[in-house]
Amino acid sequence: MLTIERQEEILEILNKNKSATVEYLASKLYVSGATIRRDLRAMENQGMIIRSHGGAMPFKSSSVETAFVVREQKDATAKRKIASLAVRLIKNGESIFADSSSTAGYVMGLLQDFTSLTVTTTGIRNATILSSTDRVKTYIAGGFVENHSNSITGTDTMDYISRIHADIAILSCTGLSLEMGFNDASIEQAKLKQCMRKNSNKVAMLVDSTKFGKSFMCHDFWFDDVDYLICEKLPPKEFLEVIEKSKCKLITPETESL
């Protein structure tokens, strides 16, 4: 089990039971107490949990909960399926852009068997995931750290990304609609993704089914602007018709089995 998957299991147990001891978590996940304690330290540093004597409890703020933690846990099964398809597009020796999305994070967790990869990301959590392997050279763009989002943005970030070229960009979005294409709630995120697209040979958009039919303030790309659309299942019929007429290749578990 990967570290990120084990930490997801820990969080699920804590959310269900309100708290748990190190011994209990170790027995449920079939790992050592030392491994659980390392996970709990990392999770506490990311604001996911609060450690207590001999165990931990989930972090709950009276005003705001860390947005990235919520996104990371939401639709985790779908995101794992998408990541398992996306990782097949990556080849040894390539350079990669990865945004700060939780879906891209699941792809980052699958890179430990590659060699000579270089990843540039705007996601703090995604850089942390990559730091657990010595087979990936990881760069994180400088700039402004957005509160509760795990993301680095701003003019310095744009300048950093504009000076780098990648073989492939692994990106996600907040919504995908026929009217706006791939879109986001943040103009800063939209601009960063457009910059990554401009400086990449290929672009893979990772979109789970909950995002179809949703429109937010900022347009990222149209269907013809990306090379791959990767989903955990086939999109609705009206989207399939548009995708078939575009230059975008749809990848799902169904299309992979054809």
Burial of 2 (0-12, 13-18, 19+ CB in 10 A): middle
Answer yes or no: are the C-beta atoms of 85 and 256 closer than 8 Å. yes
Is residue 43 in some structural domain?
yes
Distances in whole angstroms, Cα of residue 169 to Cα of each of 23, 55, 193, 202 = 41, 39, 9, 6
16 and 54 share one domain:
yes
Backbone angles phi, psi at 231, to 5 degrees: -130, 160
What angle (nearest 5°) sits at the alpha carbon of residue 11, between those of residues 56 and 25? 60
pLDDT number for residue 61: 42
Residues of the chain with pLDDT under 70: 1, 45-47, 59-74, 147-148, 257-258
| Nearest-angstrom CA–CA distance, 113 and 92 | 9
| Nearest-angstrom CA–CA distance, 80 and 90 | 16
pLDDT number for residue 135: 86
The model's pTM is 0.73
pLDDT number for residue 62: 36
- Domain hosting residue 91, numbered range: 70-256
What angle (nearest 5°) sits at the alpha carbon of residue 71, between those of residues 114 and 147? 100
Q: What is the CATH number of the domain that holds 229?
A: 3.40.50.1360
pLDDT number for residue 92: 96
Distances in whole angstroms, Cα of residue 118 to Cα of each of 2, 30, 127, 139, 205 = 20, 33, 11, 8, 19
Is residue 65 in some structural domain?
no
pLDDT number for residue 69: 53
139 and 17 share one domain:
no
84 and 29 share one domain:
no
